[in-house]
Amino acid sequence: MSLDTTDPDKSAKRDNYHVAKLRQFRNSETNTSKNSSLKPSKRFPIDRSGLRFILRSVDFVFGLALIIISSKLLNLDLLNQTLRTSLPYIAAPIIAFLGMRIGGAYRFTFNEHPLMHLCRVLWGAGLGLGVVLALSWFFKLGGEPRNLFEICAIVLLAYIGLHAHYMAMIRSLTRSGALADNVVVIGATPAAYDLIERNQEKREMNILGVFEDRLDRTPSTISNVPVLGKIDDLLKWDKLPEVDRIILTVTSTAQDRVRTLIDRLRLLPQEVILVLDLDGFSPEKTSIADIIDMPAAYVSGAPKDARRAAVKRCSDIGVALSMLILFFPFMLIIAALIKLDSKGPIFFRQKRHGFNNQIIRVWKFRTMRPDSAAEEGIKVVQTVSNDERVTRIGNFLRRTSLDELPQLINILTGDMSLVGPRPHAVGMTTEEVEVHNIVAEYAHRHRMKPGLTGWAQINGSRGPVHTAELVKERVRLDMEYMEKASFWFDLYVILMTAPCLLGDTKTMR
């Protein structure tokens, strides 16, 4: 992506536009104080692409169910009909669904007028159903033509009504901020002002605040969005784990500043999106959703694969629930042995880093003497060989990794996944240096939920990491997993976990 501009007339026109905008938002400064404790708005539990996937699935199932119900009302028993008679009825909702997909009825863009969306539904589903009717008439399929026509009409009207409700629901969720991503903007530029101003109307994003190093030239608020401080303040902000995306808005002439900011931000686990005021970019015409969904604009991170996330979450719940039921009797026995072996609680619930660097409580069976400082992440000392803190039953649990079984609860609550980078304790150090300061890419491992097991674990990187080289190797394996991650790769890791753990008697855990 080039930062140079070539057309002098366009550059002059853009500069004049920027001057006007800068004057506008500098004059808009109010007496509102900076709000560093700003709380993110409540958000819908899935992203926009995930919602589209769910609505497509609903349409597909709804169409098939509608055919069954409609045929019953018309006294048609499709199960007892010949294939020539039943085939058009079965094909009708499927072809209508495919027609809507081809016609763009599942884009659900937030700047699209509802009538335009319904026209897409009418065009896509109507064309598909028309093809079914034409082929059925030509090849004399489906029995009585009138029955097939009536059912196709019912399907078409039902899809139009259903999508009208979809649009109303999506618009309501968007305007309330419930479907929006939590976003912070870096750079008090005219492009930032335009994004913030238009977002006041459409609410496609929850803009939590603006960060700008040049505070002497920046108002305390921009269109009621507070300027919360400099970039260093962002990196130390306690609400940073709740941010989904960081939008970097800069002018096309600030090449050195762009490079500096990108180098500082790419170490964060959040997705970083770069917005330049280049020729051809019109802040007044470009949809905010278009900017967020533009893969080429991602400097760090990548657009989410909602389909894979849905499959991964379903498999996590299914497998974790099955394992919890299967191992529950053994967990009761382990709990009793822990109470008999030493004084203290059965579980050790330690603060660890989760997805997007959020702090989560990870459940484990207690294997050491009670230590509230380690549990809270105040002072974390990694295990060493022949550690006197480890109890007798704890030594057995650590060797067999049975102490990790309670993390099935973390998986069911959504804090963890079956497979992913292992969650590290808050404040964990190696060679008296916090691990996130040893490897530049360390924060990238937090772009995915931590796992009960992982690629690093089955490749020998388990237990404590006492040297910088071991930290780097674990991060390398975690990053390798994130590149290869898929359902089948996760299944391979799960199947290899037990043989690798039980066959490894040398690695300290």
Is residue 6 very low, low, confident or very high in pLDDT (cuts 50, 70, 90)? very low
Q: Check: CB of residue 371 under 8 Å from CB of residue 472.
A: no
pLDDT of residue 279: 44
Is residue 166 very low, low, confident or very high in pLDDT (cuts 50, 70, 90)? very high
Q: Kindly state the DSSP code that residue 293 receives in the 8-state scheme.
A: T
Q: Check: CB of residue 238 under 8 Å from CB of residue 43.
A: no
The stretch 373-384 carries a mean pLDDT of 72
The stretch 50-77 carries a mean pLDDT of 88
- Report CA-CA distances (Å) from 359 to 354, 365, 376, 433, 445: 6, 19, 11, 20, 14
pLDDT of residue 118: 94
pTM for the whole structure = 0.58
The stretch 174-193 carries a mean pLDDT of 80
pLDDT of residue 30: 41
Instruction: Return the percentage of the chain with pLDDT > 90, whole number.
Output: 29
Rounded distance between C-alpha atoms, residue 100 and residue 392, angstroms: 63
Q: Kindly state the DSSP code that residue 445 receives in the 8-state scheme.
A: G
Give the burial string for 154-189 (b: 16+ CB within 10 Å, else e). bbbebbeebbeebbeebbebbeebebbbbbbbbbbb
The stretch 112-137 carries a mean pLDDT of 93
Rounded distance between C-alpha atoms, residue 443 and residue 269, angstroms: 5
Instruction: Return the percentage of the chain with pLDDT > 70, whole number.
Output: 77
Facing residues of 425 across strands? 352
pLDDT of residue 431: 56
pLDDT of residue 430: 67
pLDDT of residue 473: 87
Q: Are strands 205-211 and 181-186 parallel, antiparallel or unpaired?
A: parallel
pLDDT of residue 280: 44
pLDDT tens-digit series, residues 431-486? 556 666 666 566 777 778 899 999 988 888 877 777 888 888 888 888 888 888 88
Output 280 or 208, whichever has higher pLDDT. 208
Q: Does the pLDDT of residue 492 top 90, yes or no? A: yes
The Cβ-side half-sphere exposure at 470, using a 13 Å CA radius, reads: 13
- Report CA-CA distances (Å) from 467 to 15, 462, 470: 53, 13, 5
Q: Does the pLDDT of residue 324 top 90, yes or no? A: yes
Is residue 93 very low, low, confident or very high in pLDDT (cuts 50, 70, 90)? very high
The pair of structure tokens assigned to 53 is 């996937």
Q: Which residues, including other chains, have CB under 8 Å from residue 437's CB and lie 6 or more apart? A: none
Output 462 or 56, whichever has higher pLDDT. 56
Does domain 180-300 sit in CATH 3.40.605.10?
Answer: no
Name the 3-class secondary structure at 165.
helix
The stretch 116-145 carries a mean pLDDT of 92
pLDDT of residue 478: 87
pLDDT tens-digit series, residues 390-421? 899 998 998 888 999 999 999 999 889 999 99
**Of all helices (H) and strands (E), which one includes residue 349?**
strand 347-353
Q: Does the pLDDT of residue 80 top 60, yes or no? A: yes
Mean of pLDDT over the chain: 79
pLDDT of residue 299: 53
Length of the chain in residues, anyone?
509
Single-letter amino acid, residue 181 = D
Q: Does the pLDDT of residue 426 top 70, yes or no? A: yes
Q: Does the pLDDT of residue 371 top 50, yes or no? A: yes
Name the 3-class secondary structure at 206.
strand
Question: What are the extents of the domains in the chain?
Answer: 48-175, 180-300, 306-502
Facing residues of 78 across strands? none
- Report CA-CA distances (Å) from 470 to 179, 430, 436, 460, 509: 41, 9, 13, 11, 14
The mean-pLDDT minimum among 3-7, 301-305, 413-417 falls in 3-7
pLDDT tens-digit series, residues 250-300? 765 666 777 788 777 877 778 788 776 544 444 445 555 555 444 334 455
